[in-house]
Structure 1
Amino acid sequence: MKRAVIVRAKRTPIGKKNGILQSYHPQELSAPLLSQLAVGLEENVEDVILGNVTGPGGNIGRLAALEAGLPLSIPGFMLDRQCSAGLEAIRIASYFIQGGAGKCYIAGGVESSSTSPFQKRARFAPDSIGDPDMLEAAEMVAKEFEITKERQDEYALLSYERCWAAFDRGNFEDEIVPIDKLDKDEEFLKKRNMEALLRRAKPLFPNENGTVTAANSCGINDGAAAVLVMEEETALSRGFRPVLRFIDSQVAGVHPFYPGAAPIPAIQVLLKRNGLTVKDIDLFEINEAFASKIVACAQELSIPYEKLNVSGGALTIGHPYGASGAILVTRLFYEVQRRNNAKYVLAAIGSGGGIGVAVLFEAV
């Protein structure tokens, strides 16, 4: 069986909805990434796979490839698995390589919430089951797993402090491809007093003894991220250094009321099938849509915070839905290169409708 490896990974800065990236459409956010990832391989890329959630519809994968000036022979396609879309794109590209369908793919995701033509979200579940908004679902996760506001706030503050420390160390500079002259996440233009914000923030559902607040939840954002996935022998023959080797993945479904908990069974099945435990995984990147989700996943899987989202995540820099899964992999790509002893790393994300995707990589 062929082995898929990731040899390049990049993301744009992340902007807030109607913020620094508000005038950029999805193809305009994606094109600089595709151009940089394809350098020297323009005639070898066999497809561009991009996840997207909020539109505008059409084939953004093809549109972005054309916007980037890539050869007309590269077809491109778009997929939507809600917040899991960017990670699903990388998963699909890896399986294409394993199955011998191709040797070189660009995969990731993009979101331009600012330019989306859709004012309402898509349905996650039929009325017969119930279709809560994500904030309501985050509260349901907190209640189901008995996660207090204090624990959520504690994690949100930890994530914020980690994110700023990583930014101050320059850790994000290698990740980012500038959009025109924009070269840093909007969050880092001004530091907030997060401790005070968390203390003052009121529950969004006070009549239900709520625990989820605007301060321990992610924002709505714009941004893109993608990776270059190659067949390992081809990568080596072309002089590339593989950084992450795709090992396996798992998708799981849970009740649509608890999308934040969906990574739990996906990770459990994935580890068991590969004869691994949480102790064997050196780094976890789990998307920080809500602090309730991360605390629940860490609690149920016994993941120590020392291994989890070590440079912060979406609670600070934001959650551009379709791109977020690819941002997780991009973060792992650079984090393992700063370490000498990492062996296994894992990216996971939960999505609307109660879907969890988990991907296991080996550091090469």
Structure 2
Amino acid sequence: MSKQIQDAYIVAAVRTPVARRNGLFRHVRPDDMLAHVLRAVVDQVPGLDAGGIGDVIVGCAMPEAEQGMNVARIGLLLAGLPDRVPGVTINRFCASGLQAVADSASRIRLGEADVMIAAGTESMSAMPQIMGNKVSLNPAIFAQKENIGIAYGMGLTAEKVAAKYGVSREDQDAFALQSHQRANAAIEAGHFRAEIAPYAVRTHLPGEGGTVRVAERLVDTDEGPRADASAEGLAKLKPVFAARGSVTAGNSSQMSDGAGAVLLMSEAALKRYGVRPVARFASFAVAGVPPEIMGIGPVEAIPRALAAAGVTLADVGWTELNEAFAAQALAVMRQLGMDPARVNPLGGAIALGHPLGATGAIRTATLVSAMQRDPGLRFGMISMCIGTGMGAAGVFERV
């Protein structure tokens, strides 16, 4: 007997502040960050029977070392969730956090669960290099012309996107400056406060008489945005991926540490707990593109997600488009004809940071928070490019 597809609703979404790599969270473990946001999101629903959570699905782009060994299960146990709650770690690189939200929603829509938690965690401080502790590409990649792009560094793919789609250095730097300006204005206005669960960073220092002193600092603000960012400063930076290129450290996303968590429920669970949802999960899509121009991935994924949700781009009032690089973000926006005023109104990854597998969950918190502030915002979207040549997009409806 077939089941009727039911709606999945977002009840709460929280995140840590995002810290620069080797910054404020350099000694914070990714499983501790995860445990923190899991506790925080569960606390958003007083009286929630945590034992009834169907699963905790956690995105992580580099699930190894400190964030290995199924960090989802470890994080939920550290958070104090009941032993009966399972957890699974998934990896779709930069879309891992959004994939976790989509997978959690799917479980609810199919009637397999009434309460789910989607999350993401990533510490790029814990990873000695951007691709993890041990990279071992299949040698066949280098012998196959059609697959050689898999071996390209992300920065080189951004250079290829800039060349193919005619994105100038000046436009990239202007976009990067705008990202910082928007993020700093959002912080000043307090727009991120509702979505951030402040994190207490404890540092052990030498005390008197051979004792150890514990210093604590409460981090409640994103570390990445630079108040001193300027067009002149960005213009002075040299290309870092190609000698005659245009992609610099200033117009690329920051490597970061952070975590986010999203609590989803079925309509039955909403009634059971007397909870009012903040958004309905409308659709999700993922698509493949040539690996050497992986940044253009959202161009293929966004139309699919919009069609699945039954809406058009004109209906989407707010888009969180991950700024892996200014070059690819601009190329995507131009190819799809996106309104710049509706894309990353509070800044993006160039300013706010990009903790890889956590970004999708983090930006979900930003989007649903915006929906709560603005009653006129009906549809929102999250999208990003993905390493090895993919794009992902998810559409959400305010309720």
Please classify the TM superposition score into its range, dividing by the shorter chain length: over 0.9
Pairing of 1:224-303 with structure 2 (within 5 A):
224-303=259-338
Which of residues 137, 147, 150 in structure 1 aligns to 2:167?
147
Q: Distance in 2 between matches of 1:328 and 1:32?
A: 17
Equivalent residues, number: 362
Letter in 1 for 2:367: L
Letter in 1 for 2:80: G
Q: Distance in 2 between matches of 1:104 and 1:354?
A: 32
Which of residues 14, 20, 35 in structure 1 aligns to 2:39?
35
Q: Which residue of 1 aligns with 2:29?
A: 25
Q: Distance in 2 between matches of 1:314 and 1:35?
A: 25
Deviation at 1:116, TM superposition (A): 2.8
Deviation at 1:282, TM superposition (A): 1.0
Q: Greater shift after overlay, 34-43 or 16-25?
A: 34-43
1:86 aligns with 2:123: no
Which of residues 227, 251, 257 in structure 2 aligns to 1:191?
227
Structure 1, residues 250-289: CA drift from partner, whole Å, max 9, x if none? 1100011111110111111222344432111111111111
Letter in 1 for 2:51: E
CA 1:213–1:121: 2 relative to 1, 3 Å: farther
1:11 aligns with 2:15: yes
Q: 5+ unaligned residues in a row in structure 2: which ranges?
A: 201-217
**What fraction of aligned residue pairs are identical, expressed as a percent?**
37
Q: Distance in 2 between matches of 1:202 and 1:52?
A: 31
TM-score (structure 1 length as normaliser): 0.95
When Rg is computed on C-alpha atoms for both structures, the one with the higher figure is 2
Which of residues 319, 341, 363 in structure 2 aligns to 1:328?
363
Asked if the contact 2:187–2:221 (Cα under 8 Å) also holds between the matched residues in 1, the reply is no
CA 1:113–1:358: 2 relative to 1, 3 Å: same
Which of residues 94, 100, 104 in structure 1 aligns to 2:115?
104
Structure 1, residues 63-95: CA drift from partner, whole Å, max 9, x if none? 000110110001111011111100000000000
Deviation at 1:240, TM superposition (A): 1.5
Q: Distance in 2 between matches of 1:183 and 1:274?
A: 35
Deviation at 1:99, TM superposition (A): 0.5
Q: 5+ unaligned residues in a row in structure 1: which ranges?
A: none
Q: Distance in 1 between matches of 2:230 and 2:254?
A: 14
Q: Which residue of 2 aligns with 1:50?
A: 58
Q: Distance in 1 between matches of 2:86 and 2:136?
A: 27
Q: What is the SS of the residue equivalent to 1:262?
A: helix
RMSD: 1.7
Deviation at 1:121, TM superposition (A): 5.1
Deviation at 1:43, TM superposition (A): 2.3
Asked if the contact 2:14–2:37 (Cα under 8 Å) also holds between the matched residues in 1, the reply is yes
Asked if the contact 2:298–2:332 (Cα under 8 Å) also holds between the matched residues in 1, the reply is yes
Q: Greater shift after overlay, 53-62 or 300-309?
A: 53-62
Asked if the contact 1:46–1:104 (Cα under 8 Å) also holds between the matched residues in 2, the reply is yes
TM-score (structure 2 length as normaliser): 0.87
Q: Which residue of 1 aligns with 2:177?
A: 157
